[in-house]
Amino acid sequence: MIIYLDGEFVPREEAKVSVFDHGLLYGDGVFEGIRAYGGRVFRLHEHLDRLYDSAKTIDLDIGMTKDEMSKAVLETLRRNELSDAYIRLVVTRGVGDLGLDPRKCSKPTIFIIATGWGAMYGDLYEKGLSAVTVSVRRNPADALPPNVKSLNYLNNILAKIEANYKGGDEAIFFDTNGYVAEGSGDNIFVVKNGTMFTPHTLNNLRGITRLVLLEIAGEMGIPVREQNLGYFDLYSADEVLVTGSAAEIAPVTVIDGRKIGTGKPGPFASQLVEAFRTKTNGEGTEIYK
């Protein structure tokens, strides 16, 4: 495996980051998880826009243009001879001292990992995920802006730990007001009586795959409403879906031990996944020109 690290391409065993890097010491940095399908990087520009917006929000100067970053991503894929891949693009605050002050970090650390990637949930796409609601609340927006895709993922990890102990494949967060927020690494959609519902993004990440699903719903004439959702909406749903770059679109058939709908992936899931596959197979930035 070849890693992009601060302008160079190095073997995995030589890709080393300082123990004084604030990304390691404090989770100070931003990242993106991106997918490539059939020799094309899906929604690369949207991912880079979000990366740079996240960095600007935390006053982190990436020091590269979006075009330069795009070329680095594509070259990393070429060096690894990949056509279908998961790409992790990370920008940390960089090397500093043991204090919090980001001004002590003179330049960011940038690395890109590209690896072959199959279905995140394996055969669970066929039978559906089992999710659990967790007691950990999603970080409130006035504490940590949800649309900054930050390296500080402890909130998500705590939810995942709780889900593991409860035997769930995925965790479902609620916000501090008691409404459904998102999964530990994905957005949530509820289907009821032919309409799709999804939480507002004021307290949740504006996921790229979420946006794609909204596009697909519009093209298919499926009504979508953004609104507050609670336990009632989850338990009484006809279908529940989670979306994310890694997870793609995955049906949830059990929540807190209760069957959702028939307890099997429903027709909306099948139609939306098929439409999503059409998009991922036909769109994107070409890797090999």
Residue 149 a catalytic site member: yes
E strand segments, the chain: 2-5, 8-11, 29-37, 40-41, 85-92, 109-115, 129-137, 170-174, 180-183, 187-192, 195-198, 224-226, 239-244, 248-255, 258-259, 285-286
Four-point Cα dihedral 241, 211, 145, 188, nearest 10: -10
What whole-number distance in Å separates Cα of residue 284 and Cα of residue 38? 9
- Of the candidates 40, 99, 88, 52, the one whose C-alpha atom is nearest the C-alpha of residue 282 is 40
Catalytic residue among 149, 166, 192, 279: 149
End-to-end CA distance of the chain: 22
Alpha helices in 167-266, H assignment, sequence order: 208-220, 231-235
3-state SS class at 156: helix
Q: Which residues are identified as catalytic? A: 149
